[in-house]
Structure 1
């Protein structure tokens, strides 16, 4: 028998105690390797598997050291999430307090930076270590409403013994990721948590909608900043001949002249003024301008001949691609999905079609629309270094793939079937 998400939500809404009892039996049986009375939800089962691979203790859990007050303050001041705190408080906090819930906001690493709500529930959360500065990433505490949404990049509700650690089985937690609309980078997670009796099936949609509203506010801020930069760029662009563009620090185009308008220009993480090579524009003279850059492109096309591409997947959480050419060297940090795609292309130098990539990443040849959308985003920063039909690195570029020493350390949170085979040693590196 499979307990669907709808069944679980309905059961929890009707009889919280019974639902908790069923899930306790499911968790105990699954972790013991025994036959389960009902199958856990797929998102929960996969999370349990990741927690086991990370070495999380399901019976005792784990508490990492709290961040210092100074470090919490530093992270708060540098986090884009500080701009949407008013939205989160307005949409979540009043209702959460009345319903005996608390709201927590964590950064992309799973560290709790803000926590507010019902005082009695806050005191109970303290006993669990759910406090400001604590690490609630999935690889540290297992399945939970902060760490799991950060991994799967979608809203998740974790009820009772769906939590990996036994100590959290008396809680219900609902979290949703908040991404930066400029580049899709995970900024953090907003979570609403409370005792089991506060469980409600509508909470998932509620928290997910508020996270999307927060992303919309961030998008509005970005649009306003581009408008300001466009006003500053008007005069210098009017004096230039040839191809030129003004972009913000993240590469979003505010204005352009002498060239087709592109929404975004891929920039290296640490761009400096001078003569630089950019995938979409070729060799450029880069000059600082207000809160962005003036890019004056030469007529020389971007060439791949003699280019070296290094894909670094040696770390557990952070991955990058570095490109070295005759003119410049730059490095770009990768999202988990882009790390998966580029890893597979580095291993399959003959190339893969959209359907083949969909099968290897999602286990579903029908997910070609998603693959094409993601590869379009990859090409924004790798430009002519990637061919398509099939997708592959261009033949003139040298590609080096750096892998972790242990196979099971390769993108450990990835659920891609092809990478799961590599982790277990059944796929050829």
Structure 2
């Protein structure tokens, strides 16, 4: 290879396994010693190694917290949004993985392994490595790997041999893809296929990515079906109501409305109960339970209550949220990657940003205003009257508090937005 060339998956897979492993060990050794390797790691691997070096992960020893108990695993399984698609994941992955001397692993959004099936011999090898049900495989705990790294980057990743940051994982190859909620982009977990390094195949990553996308499609079908059932129940009720009202599922997604424009979603407080409530995008309301959701009656006669404080939390590595509070209480909404970027930019620019300015910030292309306007329309649906437009901005009387990671380089690590990149590495 030429000096300073960069590896890619196709070149790695074309090499003899032993040679590729030896090459990667040399690349890793040079990187750990602070030298520039003659052959550069793949970009996603190099970026992960940089995070590990900044975070102080031990490259020679696997250190992680203990396993979850059987009861804790079962509790997470039953509450996992991936549980409904587990049969499909098994059908698509397990038989092929077993024949190829691989195992299928499914983690939650924290990186905890909840399900693991496949080749018996590989399962036993996984036990010796700590790659077992209930174990934590977040990237900042066990280094670059096919479960933790996709949770950070929110992109499919294949990791081969010494591309794993921790030495004890070098005998493995793994390919993982994140599964996100098709409704709002919320991270749900990772599906991963792993095995001995000699079983590496370049098509594995595409296979796992396709299965993850299929799982998201099945989740979308379940969502649509649930709304259709709720709509059938709510239709005769809404027909008898003269004012503004809507039927929403338990997560706030709208099935039907009357007397008002259709909203995609209403932010519901976690403690929502039958009776009077305050919803940020609607004001004073009354909630009544329905099979599969809620009937929300808007009280137009009530005195309006305005939220006064917004807390944007970007400090956690994989989950970002916005908390809104005011005289009527508070509520929290988990943010998709794009909405986390947009609210961060608006918090930095209290004077406001035009659609073209935000497009420049996000994509380096001020012409991509259609995408920005569509996303900002979705943001305003759950932030109610807290945002103005022309330009987009937080209202002047709203207090905005932003919580960032201790390490500026850990800010929204998935993001490729030029403005976010600039914020990670501020100038003098």
**TM-score, normalised on structure 1?**
0.89
The whole-number CA distance in structure 2 between the counterparts of 1:367 and 1:148 is 29
1:74 is displaced (CA, Å) by 0.9
1:27-426 alignment, distance < 5 Å: 27-299=28-300, 307-358=308-359, 360=361, 371-403=372-404, 406-408=406-408, 411=411, 413=413, 415=415, 418=419, 426=427
The whole-number CA distance in structure 2 between the counterparts of 1:234 and 1:296 is 14
* 8 Å contact kept, 1:407–1:425: no
1:314 is displaced (CA, Å) by 4.9
Q: Secondary structure at the match of 1:80?
A: coil
1:387 is displaced (CA, Å) by 2.5
1:195 is displaced (CA, Å) by 1.0
Give unpaired runs (5+ residues) of structure 1: none
Q: What is the aligned partner in structure 2 of residue 2 from structure 1?
A: 5
* 8 Å contact kept, 2:284–2:304: no
The whole-number CA distance in structure 2 between the counterparts of 1:160 and 1:370 is 39
* 8 Å contact kept, 2:151–2:178: yes
1:247 is displaced (CA, Å) by 0.5
The whole-number CA distance in structure 2 between the counterparts of 1:344 and 1:382 is 15
Change (3 A) 1:174 1:300: farther
1:422 is displaced (CA, Å) by 5.2
* 8 Å contact kept, 1:302–1:384: no
Change (3 A) 1:361 1:296: same
Change (3 A) 1:267 1:426: farther
The whole-number CA distance in structure 1 between the counterparts of 2:390 and 2:148 is 37
Question: Which stretch of the first structure deviates more once superposed, 100-109 or 389-398?
Answer: 389-398
* 8 Å contact kept, 1:281–1:302: no
1:107 is displaced (CA, Å) by 0.6
Change (3 A) 1:422 1:261: closer
1:370 is displaced (CA, Å) by 5.4
* 8 Å contact kept, 1:178–1:186: yes
The whole-number CA distance in structure 2 between the counterparts of 1:143 and 1:80 is 25
* 8 Å contact kept, 1:62–1:141: yes
Change (3 A) 1:111 1:369: farther
1:301 is displaced (CA, Å) by 10
Question: Which stretch of the first structure deviates more once superposed, 136-145 or 345-354?
Answer: 345-354
Change (3 A) 1:301 1:186: farther
1:103 is displaced (CA, Å) by 0.5
Question: Which stretch of the first structure deviates more once superposed, 12-21 or 109-118?
Answer: 12-21
* 8 Å contact kept, 2:151–2:318: no
The whole-number CA distance in structure 2 between the counterparts of 1:9 and 1:212 is 22
The whole-number CA distance in structure 2 between the counterparts of 1:304 and 1:46 is 46
The whole-number CA distance in structure 1 between the counterparts of 2:95 and 2:345 is 47
Question: Please, what is the CA RMSD of the aligned residues?
Answer: 2.7
- Residue deviations 1:36-78 (CA, integer Å, cap 9, x gap): 1122121111111122222211122323211111111111111
In the alignment of these two chains, the number of paired residues is: 424
* 8 Å contact kept, 1:311–1:402: yes
The whole-number CA distance in structure 1 between the counterparts of 2:372 and 2:53 is 29
1:2-21 alignment, distance < 5 Å: 2-5=5-8, 8-21=9-22
* 8 Å contact kept, 2:280–2:307: no
Change (3 A) 1:316 1:104: closer
Change (3 A) 1:367 1:147: farther
- Residue deviations 1:341-392 (CA, integer Å, cap 9, x gap): 3233222211234454455556676776655454343222113312234332
- Residue deviations 1:218-267 (CA, integer Å, cap 9, x gap): 12222221122112212321211011110001111111111222232233
Question: Which stretch of the first structure deviates more once superposed, 46-55 or 116-125?
Answer: 46-55
Question: Which stretch of the first structure deviates more once superposed, 381-390 or 296-305?
Answer: 296-305
* 8 Å contact kept, 1:316–1:409: no
